[in-house]
């Protein structure tokens, strides 16, 4: 198979994703689209690397493709935006089975179709390990754009769902005996094929009561710390919402599921600071529109730092590539 033949095979896989806004897609030096005149554009880039984020034992080609696109879509959701298009840079070792590479694009295409996010271009290159660097462009009405720096003391801190499932799934995926145990299918799916909260993100973006928003990709302890630092505030965490599937895994493995929820990362839930008096209303609106339950976890404080209700500091212990 030549590079041009592989590109043709990739094109076939991506053809099913509707691309009404794309004027020039795969095949030229760059892709071309017409941005909406009334919106702002957003852009985010995220990479998934074999041996760092996944192994071929723990994730299929399809899952790796899905997962790589999911983290980018989650960032778009966290701005209150909707996806417009994506590009994919794929690196792979010499001799990689072309079917693995095409399977990877099957996973990208499956999520791209669901998210209405056509893949319009990219790059193929040799690399020492499978490397997927994906960029997603999105759009948002100026009034709906959410940043992470608007939280105010007294705001309710909430997430779009319980945490720790992805870390539990990573634990299960790495153990052949656990991996084949059907009881853990939910956390395996949370790790392998996370669902970016696009609908909830748009709904939360449209609420003027939501003052700050970001996604939980590096762990709540790290990401809530970042939201607070950007906003010049602190937070008290009253409840750590641990995913029930993570509790089920931890009961077997002896791990601490609260640690997974605090530090595990990659849950791709949205983390928000909401005006206190509006929280219940916002939660009802989000649940009605998306079926997702906002989970209240704490309160924004004037005092900097992230603490438990008893005052003990929660240090940022999530993912850090240099540690």
| Interface residue list for a second copy (CB under 8 A) | 1-6, 23-24, 27-35, 37, 40-47, 49, 51-53, 74-76, 78-79, 81, 85, 87-89, 91, 98, 120-129, 131, 133, 135, 137-138, 140, 145, 147-149, 214-215, 230, 320-323
Q: Minimum Å distance from CB 36 to a second copy?
A: 8
Q: How far is the CB of 254 from a second copy (least distance, A)?
A: 28
Using alpha carbons only, what angle is made at residue 28 by residues 26 and 30, rounded to the nearest 5 degrees?
85
Tell me which long-range contacts 35-41 makes (C-beta under 8 A, separation of at least 24). 35/84, 35/139, 36/139, 38/141, 39/139, 39/140, 39/141, 39/142, 40/139, 40/140, 40/141, 40/142, 40/145, 41/84, 41/137, 41/138, 41/139
Minimum CB distance to a second copy smaller for 65 or for 91: 91
Q: Residue 32 or 302: which CB sits closer to a second copy?
A: 32
Residue number, 98 or 174, with CB nearest to a second copy: 98
Shortest Cβ 185–a second copy spacing (Å): 28
Paired tokens of 215: 């996604």
The residue (of 123 and 238) whose beta carbon lies closer to a second copy is: 123
Q: How far is the CB of 122 from a second copy (least distance, A)?
A: 5
Q: Considering beta carbons, is residue 99 or 238 the nearer one to a second copy?
A: 99
Tokens of 166: 């992805």
**Number of neighbouring beta carbons within 10 Å of residue 281:** 13
CB of 256 to a second copy, least distance (A): 23
Q: Which C-beta is closer to a second copy: that of 138 or that of 245? A: 138
Cα separation, 313 vs 306, in Å, equals: 6
Q: Which of 269, 273, 139 is nearest to 215 (CA)?
A: 269
> What H or E segment, with its residue span, contains residue 48?
strand 40-49
* Residue number with CB closer to a second copy (127 or 252): 127
> Please, what's the largest Cα pairwise distance for the chain?
62
CB of 95 to a second copy, least distance (A): 10
Q: State the minimum distance, in angstroms, from the CB of residue 87 to a second copy.
A: 4
- As to burial, measured by CB atoms within 10 angstroms (0-12 exposed, 13-18 middle, 19+ buried), residue 147 is middle
């Amino acid at each position: 198979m030549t590079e041009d033949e592989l590109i043709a095979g990739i094109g076939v896989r991506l053809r099913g994703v509707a691309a009404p806004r794309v004027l020039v897609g795969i095949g030229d030096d760059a892709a071309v689209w017409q941005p909406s005149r009334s919106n702002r554009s957003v852009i985010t880039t995220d990479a998934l690397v074999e041996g760092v984020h996944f192994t071929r034992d723990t994730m299929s080609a399809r899952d790796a493709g899905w997962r790589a696109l999911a983290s980018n879509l989650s960032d778009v959701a966290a701005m209150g935006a909707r996806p417009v298009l994506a590009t994919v840079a794929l690196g792979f070792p010499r001799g990689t089975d072309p079917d693995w590479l095409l399977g990877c694009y099957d996973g990208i295409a499956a999520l791209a179709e669901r998210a209405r996010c056509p893949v319009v271009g990219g790059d193929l290159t040799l690399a020492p390990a499978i490397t997927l660097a994906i960029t997603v462009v999105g759009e948002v009405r100026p009034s709906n754009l959410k940043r992470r720096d608007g939280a105010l003391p007294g705001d309710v801190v909430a997430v779009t769902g319980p945490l720790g499932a992805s870390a539990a799934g990573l634990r299960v995926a790495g153990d052949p005996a656990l991996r084949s145990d059907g009881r853990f299918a939910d956390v395996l799916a949370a790790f392998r094929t996370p669902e970016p909260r696009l609908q909830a993100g748009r709904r939360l973006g449209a609420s003027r009561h939501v003052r700050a928003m970001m996604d939980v990709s590096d762990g709540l302890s790290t990401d809530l710390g970042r939201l607070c630092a950007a906003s010049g505030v602190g937070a008290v965490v009253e409840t750590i919402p641990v995913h029930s599937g993570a509790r089920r895994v931890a009961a077997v493995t002896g791990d601490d599921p609260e640690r997974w929820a605090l530090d595990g990362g990659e849950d791709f839930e949205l983390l928000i600071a909401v005006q206190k008096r509006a929280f219940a209303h916002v939660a009802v609106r989000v649940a009605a529109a998306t079926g997702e339950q906002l989970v209240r976890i704490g309160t924004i404080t004037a005092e900097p730092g992230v603490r438990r209700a008893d005052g003990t500091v929660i240090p940022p212990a999530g993912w850090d590539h240099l540690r």
